[in-house]
A and B are shown apart, each in its own frame.
Chain A
Amino acid sequence: MAAGAMAVASLPADAEGMTRRLAPLDAQPHVQPPMDAPTKDLLMAAINSARMAGAAFADARVGRTRRNFVITREQQIQQIVDTDTIGCGIRALVDGCWGFAATRALTADGVAAAGREAVAIAKANRVARDRAVELAPAPPLGERTWSNGFTIDPWTIPVEQKAELLLKANAEAMKVPGVKYVSSIMFFVKEEKNYANTDGTVTAQTIVRSWAPMSITAISSDFTDFQSRSNTVPPAGRGYEHILEADIVGNAKKWGEEAVQKLKAKAVEPGRYDLVLHPSHLSLTIHESLGHPTELDRAYGYEANYAGTSFVSPPEKILGNFRYGPEMLNVQGDRSQPGACATVGFDDEGVIPDDFLIIRQGVVNDYQTTREQANWLKWWYDKQGQPVRSHGCSNGENWSSVQFQRMPNVSVLPGPKEQSFEDIIAQTDKGIAIVGEGSFSIDQQRYNAQFGGQLFYEIKGGKSVGMLKDVAYQIRTPEFWNALDMLGGKKSYQVGGTFFDGKGQPGQSNSVSHGCPPTRHRQINVINTGRKA
């Protein structure tokens, strides 16, 4: 459901070159070493105990998640936090029922006890079972390793260096007349994931993600208005090189000036406008209106009690039939885009994720799946001549969270014509161009959504004629995507994302990215949100 703050950076079209320029000369992409023997012993102790207790299938994840935060405002450090959590989560399938147990007791006895507990829970639930859970096959992978290829480990950068960079950026923003407050954060995550299942798959992988958002606030001299420029830099599945490339010190003044300009912006006149959406804005709209509705568990009602179901349902009527948008709309699910937040080598049930087209030429072609769910679409895959296999969307937030279907990177593919955000504005007569993500809300079936933004520009006669404020647009998802009439090309493609996509009970956060070119949508309903009473 909720994507937390999302924003966007330039696509790694030339990122490799930049990485080489900005990283220390000896920095090389991280290479994952083989799993150490004690960790493998623990995984085996866990799955063997579950199997001995009666599990038909079991898997275990020994995971370590480290987080590092540096939090500042103006010229002050507010807090520096380093967190570290390690443990083992074991899942057991017994007679078609799931059980899960998680423990921080990383001894052979500790994980074996958790394995037995997972089986006991599965057995206790048998009384309430209806249909048995069946897993789609996944080929045993043997022992494998993977890393997301970060070049600078954020844990090798001294904290004073991180603080200095943030405080410098804050100072640059504060130089802008009218800017009163600045907050900025660096946020790093390192996941060391070790996995084994009773099919014969043993994987070890390390994933690093980095984020450094700022929020700059300008306040009018009479205290009747305040405006902020936020969500300035998106998260990425990369190391400290991502922070360096974002150049927050170099950009802070521009962001500060934008906050001040918002104070003087004209209030929007409600009505229908052609919207030209920058990738830094559109990634969140994609997340809510394309990503979530095409999760197969939602489509079958498995999230009804919390995040909700989906209008893209039932799959039996939707697949190959439902027109989501025009022919130019192609939407890909993947966990392979370099530097994207959901990119992994293996998912949390031993599957190597594949790239798949969720929407092909405007028509729904597939859903996001796990091994449990892939079987539900057997009829469709058979009809398409495709193997029945999971797309590798199983993920648990950490060792203590049971894995389930989470969103891969879901991206709108660029169009064949090479055109930019500015090129699309130049072809628009009366519209609003929107940059950056703001407020967002969408119903539990993903029909009705309302989105704000960071910056709004009035378009008249192909030109941006000034800034607007109090803008939000309301959509009905299928109409919005069918109103798409222009797409940028490959060079205009950018990736945004979030660390905080919430789903499930108990709630879990997932990191995910969305790539897209700029788009234009005709005659979308715009409201003015500047109410006073």
Chain B
Amino acid sequence: MTSRFDPSAPKRLLTASDELVSRDEAQRIIESTIKLSKADAVQVNIGGGRQRNVRFAANQMSTAGLITDLSLVVTSAFGPKHAITTTNDLSPEGIERAVRQSEAIAKLAPDDPESMPALGSQTIRAMPSAWDEATVNLDAASCATAALTALVPARANGTLQAAGFLQVDANVTALGNNAGLFAYHRGTKSNYTLTVRTADGTGSGWAGAEQPRFSSIDFERLGARAIEKAELSRNPVAIEPGRYTVIMEPQAVGDLIQLFSGYADARSADEGRSPFVKQGGGNKLGEKIVDQRVSLYSDPYDPTILADPFDGEGFPLVRHDWITNGVLTEMQYGRFWAKKQGKQPTGGANNIVMGGGSTTREQMIAGTRRGILVTRLWYLREVDPRTALFTGLTRDGTFLIENGKVTRAIKNMRFNESPLFLLNNLESLGPQERVAGVEALVPCVMPLLKVRDFNFTSLSDAV
């Protein structure tokens, strides 16, 4: 460890509480960092955050914390040579060191034939509603009170065990370069998930929510939902694995459909290694790939699921319709590949929204002679990249539907299924919901879905 931990030094640009830098402060730091640069091109990113969390399990309080950090990323380029250095030491010496380090590494780097010139000034629409001051200033007592909404009824019941997690984040991201670009965004996020298990270990229920504002999370309602599912899922019976009609709650749909974003890259398809490879070469852009009722888009400004409006290079993210009426209407093009292929770059997908339908949950169940109701999915992993085939399991509330009624809890099952197969086997679409679960890495708004021929391959004894 170096002596930079000297408590008496150095003078800092920022104090400990300044991790949530304002637009002006961010611009000042970025501009002063750019001034230090001797590279042909330099980009400076700032990422700051404050996270408050509380965790409980087995009806006990577990860990709880407040974490603050602010880091600076310097990307230096000399012609086609480039390198990135990241530091959270924002003293003048720390920043200078990061600039020099990124330059030193970039100079030694081999040429990157795919390097792209820096983006100039961009028009990025501000998103003030992504930030909630009350969420930023939430205190530890409010988090403990939120935990009690699940702990109190679970303890009082006597046969239930609650485990949950609340995480409240305030994040700032900003970047600038020496080609005139500056972008700034800040957002808050509250994520709460709750698992209630029966003390005899035979039942488990789950509920979760994610919203920019802490005050938008209805803790009591989520507690009631997880408890109800836990009670209903007691003593599940085994049914034979195989192909079933399945009604998937929005969380389960999101767990599987968000995987689409990992395959939307045009380059992989053009190179011949993607489910969207056209036989003989090229990609399937413009081809019908799923049921015509399916629409899938990304839009950071969608009010139901706000997301960062620019990517790590400052490229503005706007609405992209990946699937429209079942047709693959857009694919993701990075700046290099877009230029090579004569396309417009798209940037990535910071969120995914799938259009819903008018069939209610009750109608879906009533119209099902024999099927399975799924709460959420777990441990999805790619099995075959040629078809986007994934394996995973159901979890925390899996029920049998017989003759139009939910009749009993069933044991969880493993499936081998692709989001693309699933969207070709669509029966009906229901209302949308913002999902919150841990398997959904990309923030999603997803509908309730009914699909046929969902492929379950084995039983699990896990509750």
Contact = CB atoms under 8 A, between A and B. Distances in A.
Interface of A: 1-2, 35-36, 38-39, 41-42, 45, 62, 64, 76-87, 97-108, 110, 113, 117-118, 120-122, 124-125, 127-131, 158-160, 163-164, 167, 180-181, 192, 194, 204, 217, 219, 222-226, 228, 300-306, 308-309, 311, 313, 400, 402, 404, 439-448, 450, 452, 470, 472, 474, 476, 505-507, 525, 527, 529-533
Contacts of B1: 35-36, 39, 62, 64, 192, 194, 204
Interface in B163-203: 163-165, 167, 193-195, 197, 201
B140 A445 contact: no
B43 interface: no
A125 B61 contact: yes
Q: Which 8 A-B pairs have the closest CB atoms?
A: A105-B16, A100-B65, A124-B140, A448-B460, A445-B462, A443-B462, A304-B163, A83-B86
Given A222-B279, A301-B57, A443 B378 contact: yes
Contacts of A41: 7
28 contacts: A80-B83, A80-B84, A80-B109, A84-B86, A98-B63, A105-B15, A106-B4, A118-B65, A121-B65, A128-B148, A129-B60, A129-B61, A223-B281, A226-B273, A304-B195, A305-B193, A308-B462, A400-B69, A441-B380, A441-B393, A442-B379, A444-B378, A448-B462, A505-B53, A505-B167, A505-B193, A531-B387, A533-B421
B67 A400 contact: yes
Given A2-B379, A128-B144, A443-B379, A476 B461 contact: yes
B234 to A, nearest CB: 16
A386 to B, nearest CB: 25
A153 to B, nearest CB: 14
B245 interface: no
A527 B416 contact: yes
A107 B141 contact: no
A404 B395 CA distance: 25
Contact of B273 (A219, A306, A447): A219
Nearest to A314: B201
A339 to B, nearest CB: 23
B405 to A, nearest CB: 27
B273 A181 contact: yes
Given A223-B278, A527-B457, 13 more contacts: A78-B114, A79-B84, A80-B109, A83-B86, A226-B385, A228-B273, A306-B165, A311-B461, A439-B383, A443-B395, A446-B462, A448-B414, A505-B193
A103 to B, nearest CB: 6
B272 A180 contact: yes
Interface string B272-315: 11000111110000000000000000000000000000000000
B459 interface: yes
B232 interface: no
A313 B197 CA distance: 14
B67 A101 contact: yes
B112 A311 contact: no
Given A159-B109, A531-B416, A124 B139 contact: yes
A379 to B, nearest CB: 18
B5 A106 contact: yes
Contact of B105 (A80, A180, A222, A305): A80
Contacts of B195: 304-305
Nearest to B167: A506
Contacts of B98: 84
A128 B387 contact: no
Contacts of B382: 439
Interface string B60-89: 111111111111000000000011111111
B7 A76 contact: no
B37 interface: no
A159 B204 CA distance: 51
Contact of A38 (B5, B62, B194, B384): B5
Given A38-B5, A84-B88, A117-B66, A167 B395 contact: no
Interface string B104-132: 01101111111000000000000000000
B324 interface: no
Residue of A77, A86, A217, A225 ringed by the most chain B CB atoms within 10 A: A77
A153 B273 CA distance: 37
Given A305-B57, A474-B458, A450 B391 contact: yes
A128 B414 contact: no
Nearest to A79: B84
A222 B282 CA distance: 11
B63 A404 contact: yes
B62 A302 contact: yes
A518 B140 CA distance: 51
